[in-house]
Amino acid sequence: MQTFLLIWLGQVVSLLGTKLTEFALGVWVYQQNQSIAQLALVILLTYLPNTLISAIAGALVDRWDRRWAMILSDSAAGIGTLIIGFLVLSHQLAIWHIYLAVGVNSIFNAFQQPAYSAAIAQLTPPEQYSRINGMVQISRGIARVLSPAMAGFLIGIIGIGGILIIDFSTFLVALFTLLMVRFPTVHRRLTKPLQLQRLLQEMRFAGRYITQRPGLSRLLLYMSTNYFSIGILEVVFWPLILDFGSREELGLVLSIGGTGMLLGSIVITAWGGPKQRVYGLLYFIPLQGLIMLMAALKTSIPLAAMGLFVYLFAQPIIVSCNQAIWQSKVPHHFQGRVFALQQMIEKSLAIFAYIVVGPLVEDFLEPLMTSGPMAERLGSFIGGIGPGRGIALMVLLMGIGNLLATLIAYQSQRLRRLEIELPNLNPPKLSLTKTCP
């Protein structure tokens, strides 16, 4: 437990530095030419390489020493930050440098995530899993609270170069904590080399397992719509705020939103969610849809901060309830392959959003809301016409989409009765508890 606490502390510091850099580089990319498409490409490259190799990375992590997998990932991320910092300080930074750095970091992060998750089971007793997973969610909330406001303030004082130096220092802290500790020896059954054919067979089995259970299939489809709307919001939210606010105000709004995520993580850790966890989705996903409607209808810094607070408060509850259902309905010896496919499909919808939203907003919705009868009619609902109103229209459409998806999901008896019709396949003493995200 002491070993994990030391590693957790190092990862908290490292995550804070990473979020500082993400904010600084995201603002820099958007303010170069006010391009939503370029900002969307940065976000896309943050997740796409990770998703594409996640199944292979997970299999390799099961064959490697988890501590060294984390050291490898942190070292690669630190070197990438150092290179970008050198380019900034020498005034040679170009947008394609950021694309390359973000993509490479995404690949190594695919090893970091499963190694960190496996370290929880390796270093802590089973009765502490809920508490430990809650700590991981809380660390992410802390980073969301502190980093945007800090970055918005620090950019004007030390610039992007200074923020990158801070980020590199945080990587050194994480590496130092990993080098100080030792992990217990794991006796692995996976001694044969990984083969592509075997990996494909496992993925096909996971697909059959899900499709043969209609409740799980509908749950996967419903959650995918949630990830799709999150992907769109991630791309358009910064430009939406920067169209009428400063980067300092954007940082403040994001910090307030991070407070909501932190509070939501604490609440779901203490509460555990509703008895039928599918209703946690059916209650909180439409709440997010209503928040998106409010954000589109009227824009102001206080309203944006309040809306993001509620939206991100709901997200840990949604993620926790969803994952707890999968953990209780999938046998332990199938969970790796089934969860890999589940998360790949969910993330793929978010990635699709990153690809389409930039061209859709810039080439269609923004020109549509510039002038004309259609712009006048729609502008009466979303606070007028002109620059930024195309983004507001996109947010409005996604809010409506969330509500419609929930209405359709509620009509599905197989989804509503999923936890009743599909038995729990894991003994309670072995299954992850429903408070685990």
Question: Three-class SS string for 223-273?
Answer: HHHHHHHHHHHHHHHHHHHHCCCCHHHHHHHHHHHHHHHHHHHHHHHHHCC
Task: Please state, as a whole number, how many other Cβ atoms lie within 10 Å of the Cβ of residue 230.
Answer: 20
Q: Tens-of-pLDDT digits for all 437 residues of the chain?
A: 677 778 878 888 888 888 888 878 777 777 777 777 777 788 788 778 877 877 677 667 766 777 787 888 888 888 888 888 888 888 887 888 888 888 888 888 777 776 776 666 567 665 555 566 667 767 777 777 777 777 777 777 777 788 888 888 888 888 888 888 776 665 554 455 666 677 677 667 778 888 889 999 999 999 998 889 988 888 888 788 877 777 778 878 888 888 888 888 888 877 877 888 899 899 999 999 999 988 887 778 888 899 999 999 998 888 878 877 877 787 766 666 677 677 778 878 888 887 888 788 888 888 888 887 888 888 877 777 777 788 888 888 999 999 999 999 999 998 998 888 887 654 443 333 333 33
- The angle at the Cα of 104, spanning 437 to 185, to the nearest 5 degrees, equals 55
Cβ atoms of 8 and 136 within 8 Å: the answer is yes
The CB-side HSE value for 161 (13 A sphere, CA atoms) comes to 9
Q: In 3D, which of 258, 296, 320 has the Cα closest to residue 403?
A: 296
CA-to-CA separations, 373 to 298, 318, 343, in angstroms, rounded: 20, 40, 43
Choose which CATH entry (2.40.110.10, 1.10.3720.10, 1.20.1250.20, 3.40.630.30) describes domain 201-437: 1.20.1250.20
d(CA 243, CA 133): 37
If 0-12 CB within 10 Å is exposed, 13-18 middle and 19+ buried, where does residue 248 land?
middle
* Closest CA relative to residue 353, chosen from 239, 256, 226: 226
Helix (H) or strand (E) holding 328: helix 301-329
Of the candidates 142, 180, 136, 169, the one whose C-alpha atom is nearest the C-alpha of residue 14 is 169
Question: For residue 72, which amino acid is it?
Answer: L
Domain 1-183 coded CATH 1.20.1250.20: yes
Torsion of CA 405, 410, 413, 415, to 10 degrees: 60
Domains 1-183 and 201-437 share a fold: yes
Task: For residue 107, give the nearest of 67, 63, 58, 51 by alpha carbon.
Answer: 51
In whole angstroms, what separates CA 117 from the centre of its chain? 15
Kindly list the domain boundaries of the chain, sorted by start residue: 1-183, 201-437
DSSP per-residue codes, 174-204: HHHHHHH--PPP---S--SPP-HHHHHHHHH
Place of tokens 């999901």: 409
